[in-house]
Amino acid sequence: MNAISHDVAKPAVAPGSQGSKLAALNAWVAEVAALTKPDAIHWCDGSDAENAALIAQMEADGTLVKLNESTHPNSYLHRSHPDDVARVEHLTFVCTSRQDDAGPNNHWMAPADGHAKMDALFDGCMKGRTMYVIPYCMGPIDSPLSRCGVEITDSPYVVANMRIMTRMGAPSLARIEREGTFVKGLHSIGELDPERRFIMHFPEELTIKSFGSGYGGNALLGKKCHALRIASHQARSEGWLAEHMLILGLENPQGETHYIAAAFPSACGKTNLAMLIPPEGYRAKGWKVWTVGDDICWMRPGADGRLYAINPEAGFFGVAPGTSAKSNPNALKSIQSNTIFTNVGVTADNQPWWEGLDDGQTPVTDWRGNAYDPAKGPAAHPNSRFTVSAKQCPSYSPEAENAAGVPISAIVFGGRRPSLVPLVFEARDWTHGVLVGAAMGSETTAAATGAVGVMRRDPMAMKPFCGYNFADYFTHWLSFDQAGANLPKIFHVNWFRKGDDGSFLWPGFGENLRVLEWMIQRVKGEAGSVETPIGHLPKDDEINLDGVQLTDEARAKLFGFEREGWQAEFASIGEYLDEYGPRMPQALKDEQQRIAKALGN
């Protein structure tokens, strides 16, 4: 294919290369075409030729700007509309037959109303445009844990990103045709009007409709929309878990690799942890960290009772600001070529630039395309992104393509908590661990619209992404604790504890490996702990702090237990659980009460 046609007067769906052997898919594509009225229909095959034609087309119309070929070969800059730079949680809906099934954690709309609202927006919206049909697979193409979908979009930018982020094209279409089922995703950038922007999910129909946004989380429907909101609903009905978690492999000097899944809200260091480089002393001894995934984790019980996980994504859609040779050298190395940058600044010699890059360069153009003026804001938007294949990461794990998944030894929850919460503690058992995840709190970041720095509960880092009632979601988590289960230990971390002067007490970044090492020692029964009402804290000197300089205040706050503060915290957790009414599992409320009593509440 040498060009993407825009001048077809009447779109047609033909068999073979233009179309599918699956009648249900062809019928849906025809139905969408009749509604949206595109000038042309293109079925994406994922080929290099197709991608090259799309890139050339976007360069010609200004959708993409080619970056410095000598420093960043085959890399491009995309600038989105200034009002379209983040997820829009207040415009994101879950449409279930009964409102209670969506829960108070979601904005709800009746399915009939949701379809009517969206179809009115989609009516004729693709006139003058090409409609792209993108068959994709979330997860290794041959994995029984993977699930497929088809996104229809009028955005070539979405096609190019979906090619990086999913297994997209002919192999995925072949699997869809074999299985006969797929998640339907319909997207149009519309007019990029914030007043005409909605992201609707219909979990009972395995359908997504997104209109009016080109931002990744709203437009790359395989990502948050499918891999979390729809997949969490699929997972509940099919007996697995779809989670907002990184997956890393921690290899010790003996050659043993333990896999850890960790949930943090967006922009709280997930990608940094997933690509962590061990401190020099650890590297010298042979410690390694392997990256399986940086954002989403699908887990299913195996025959041995352990949870096995895959990363459903094939790429990274990472936050650029703060990514540097110091914070995340592996991420920086990953994005030196074959990368799409969105909403970053540009230097005089056309290199991508963002705050925190610390490369000695100076931007001349900001993310809006204007001359950079620090008085008018940052060069890169705080939520600017990079899209790149996971295989370009120096720490990429060959196990990422393992169709069986990797066995999970530990699950970690964490968020931005400047006070109260210690560096690390271990849940007493699975039920306590579910409560730890359910009660997670974090300061908000720029990944979502709204105020930044506000503390909110974000259970399992899934508040914006759970496709059904949180109370039912917690019940589903609890259901994995049954005879024969060999479940991971659950931990909570807080890299963001601050001192009285407002500075961070823990150095973070590569030093976080010291905490992971203690977790694996706990998994293997090789490390002790101090039992407190909130869980097991490390004993003095059981976390290797060689070479880490901590003040007395830092040691007290990072490894201490503040009873009065936790009394207030658990009273707040009890009130939070009560917000979900009678559907909240009694086991979780009993656990909260048990701990509150132990705290002396």
What is the residue type of 534? I
> Is residue 5 pLDDT above 50, yes or no?
no
pLDDT > 70? residue 160: yes
What does the alpha-carbon distance between residue 549 and residue 570 come to, in Å, rounded to a whole number?
A: 32
Q: Work out the burial of residue 89: count CB atoms within 10 Å of its CB; fewer than 13 is exposed, 13-18 middle, 19 or more buried.
A: middle
Phi, psi of 194 (to 5 degrees): -60, -20
pLDDT over 90 (residue 266) = no
Q: Does the annotation list 338 as a binding residue?
A: no
Average pLDDT, the chain: 94
Containing H/E element for 493? Answer: strand 489-493
State yes or no: 217 annotated in a binding site. yes
User: What is residue 443's predicted lDDT score, i.e. its pLDDT?
Assistant: 78
Q: What is the average per-residue pLDDT within 292-321?
A: 97
Kind and range of the H or E run holding 258? strand 257-263
271 annotated to bind ligand: yes
512 is in an annotated binding site: yes
Contact (Cβ atoms closer than 8 angstroms) between residue 579 and residue 518? no
Per-residue pLDDT of 272-291, as tens digits, reads: 999 999 999 999 999 999 99
Is 297 annotated in some ligand binding site? Answer: no
Please state the rounded mean pLDDT for residues 123-138: 98
pTM as predicted: 0.94
Q: Which domains does the chain have, with CATH numbers?
A: 23-62+88-239 (3.40.449.10), 243-314+398-561 (3.90.228.20), 316-392 (2.170.8.10)
Distance, CA of 125 to CA of 122 (rounded, Å) = 5
Ordered DSSP codes for 378-435: -SS-TT-EEEEEGGGSTTB-GGGG-TT-EEEEEEEEE---SSS--SEEE-SSHHHHHH
Residue 213, class by beta-carbon neighbours within 10 Å (0-12 exposed, 13-18 middle, 19+ buried)?
buried
Cα within 13 Å of Cα(261), Cβ side: 28
Cα dist from 166 to 92, 149, 151, 500, 530, whole Å: 22, 10, 11, 45, 44
| pLDDT of 327 higher than 60 | yes
Predicted pLDDT at 315: 98
Q: What is the pLDDT of residues 21-72, one digit of tens each?
A: 999 999 999 999 999 999 999 999 999 999 999 999 999 999 999 999 999 9
User: How confident is the model over 218-227, as pLDDT tens digits?
Assistant: 999 999 999 9
Consult the annotation and say whether 601 binds a ligand: no
Does 163 show up as a binding residue in the annotation?
no
Tell me the C-alpha distance between 562 and 238, whole Å.
41
Please tell me the predicted confidence (pLDDT) of residue 455.
79
Does 17 score more than 80 pLDDT? no
Catalytic residues: 268
For residue 383, say whether it is annotated as part of any ligand binding site.
yes
